[in-house]
């Protein structure tokens, strides 16, 4: 009941073939890809090791900076919370007397 009904394969319409006429322009010639004059970079084992060490150092420095910024935000948040509690206690003490 709910299954799709497909037409038989031989009744499918076919696209007509396009005939090329003589009044159409021929396709434009394609220019070859430009050749690069830049030298290629070749890494020796020593330079690859230096590059890996430099990348590792950058990752460590960026990580240390981000962790220190997170620590500064956390310390600031705790300080503000302590000040809020102390101010609340002082205001409560002032209202009692």
- When pLDDT is cut at 50, 70 and 90, the band that residue 93 belongs to is very high
- Contact criterion met (CB below 8 Å) for 51 and 43: yes
User: What's the pLDDT tens digit per position in 12-59?
Assistant: 566 665 555 556 666 777 777 777 788 887 888 899 999 999 999 999
Answering whether pTM is above 0.75, one says no
User: What's the pLDDT tens digit per position in 42-52?
Assistant: 888 899 999 99
In whole angstroms, how large is the CA radius of gyration of the chain? 38
């Amino acid at each position: 009941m709910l299954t799709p009904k497909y037409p038989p394969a031989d009744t499918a319409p076919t696209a007509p073939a396009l005939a090329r006429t003589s009044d159409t322009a021929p396709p434009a010639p394609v220019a070859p890809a430009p050749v690069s004059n830049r030298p290629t970079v070749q890494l020796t084992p020593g330079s690859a090791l230096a590059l890996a060490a430099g990348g590792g150092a950058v990752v460590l420095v960026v990580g240390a900076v981000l962790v220190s910024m997170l620590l500064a935000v956390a310390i600031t948040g705790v300080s503000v919370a302590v000040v809020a509690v102390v101010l609340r206690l002082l205001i409560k003490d002032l209202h009692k007397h």
